[in-house]
Amino acid sequence: MPGFELFGDKERKEVQDVMDSGVLMRYGFDAMRNGHWKTKELETALAERMQTNHAHAVSSGTAALTIALASAGIGAGDEVIMPTFTFVASFESILALGAVPVLVDIDDTLTLKPEAVVNAITSKTKVVMPVHMCGSMANLEALKAICDQHGLLLLEDACQAIGGTYMGKPLGSIGDLGCFSFDYVKTITCGEGGAVITNNEDYYENAHKYSDHGHDHMGNNRGAEEHPFLGYNFRISEMNSAVGVAQLSRLDEFIVIQKKNYTILREALSAIPEIVFRTVPDGGEENYSFLSFFLPSENLAQKAHQALSDKGVDGCFYWYNNNWHYYKKWEHLTNMKSLGNLPKDVKEALPDYNKADFSESDKWISRNISCLIKLGWSEKEVTERAKKMVEAIKSSL
């Protein structure tokens, strides 16, 4: 991770196809295309790779989450349960529809704690949104059972975990809907892009229409298309999709490299008895994009993180103080800072997160360090990195 480390002839060839045709838009201009439909090609390949009936490519992972929720009819006042550890896009997508993000604790998987989900369910709850952070997954068996029992949708945010699996199935394909991000720093990239996958025909039909101003995409005359409902513009361009076509064809190649580099680092750190690695649920295999582990205390985790930095080991993250990924720094959410008036449903129903008790999440995140696994490292570089990491962490204990 990320895919841009290994751009090559495949990406150049796909992009050149688009440049030669001159058609950068995913819809229309049929006669000019010379048979090139890169977004359709990406969607077909993604649905096959993810073992789902449908895939729809869009402009970003954030757009994918918003579209997925909208496609299932989520709107004003509906509650969506999400974790305290994620990217801000999770709650942005919920709020964009006038729905209410309900934050709950994580556990040692660094994802949703099932017991916390159960305790957060109300009559307004419509969706449970696990976020497969840093390449690994939530306890999907438990979450799916909860959703089935309460009649809730399971929406997998797999934006950071493409290529991972659970019980032999690709992450993103297990819930009612799944979402991916293909931004510049993801395991595979389009530069900017994302996708929604689902086996539900209605959700797919709603998704491709909603993401293109409500166009029904019937016939071959775009100007004559009907608008069965309101939509928005979340289209991806052919240029972005072209890069995605090449990168998706290389996903398995990337996962093999990540696993090799991850394994070298993990085996080295396993010699430090104070380190406990993140829990991967039984039956799960992460995509090896991050190596995440816990130190015995918040103080020791901070010292180890600083020692890694001092040793020149880049790409290691201490999320507890991170502006984008942990609730403690989401002041714009907790204080409801908005350029315009927020919907009444949000104002009245959003919990007061300034007073929330997420001590369970704090217990895990305050002791966690997650280290990025790069694709471009040589074996010598990985071995030297492992040695530096062990020395740095030992020196801090």
Q: Which residues are catalytic?
A: 186
3-state secondary structure of 222: helix
Instruction: Say how far apart CA 20 and CA 36 lie, in whole Å.
Output: 10
CA atoms within 13 A on the CB side of 149: 10
Longest dimension (CA), the chain: 69
Instruction: Say how far apart CA 256 and CA 3 lie, in whole Å.
Output: 13
With beta carbons less than 8 A apart as the criterion, state whether 374 and 261 touch: yes
Instruction: Say how far apart CA 188 and CA 286 lie, in whole Å.
Output: 15
Instruction: Say how far apart CA 54 and CA 45 lie, in whole Å.
Output: 10
Instruction: Say how far apart CA 291 and CA 107 lie, in whole Å.
Output: 17
Single-letter residue type at 97: L
Distance, CA of 272 to chain centre = 30
Instruction: Say how far apart CA 59 and CA 42 lie, in whole Å.
Output: 13
| Long-range Cβ pairs for the range 295-299 (8 Å, 24+) | 295/367, 295/369, 295/393, 295/397, 296/367, 297/367, 298/366, 298/367
Instruction: Say how far apart CA 287 and CA 229 lie, in whole Å.
Output: 38
Q: How many CB atoms lie within 10 A of CB 171?
A: 30
Q: Of 193, 241, 202, nearest to 70 (Cα)?
A: 202
Torsion angle (degrees, nearest 10) of CA 191, 136, 366, 311:
-60
Single-letter residue type at 20: D
Instruction: Say how far apart CA 194 and CA 58 lie, in whole Å.
Output: 5
Which H or E element spans position 89?
A: helix 89-96
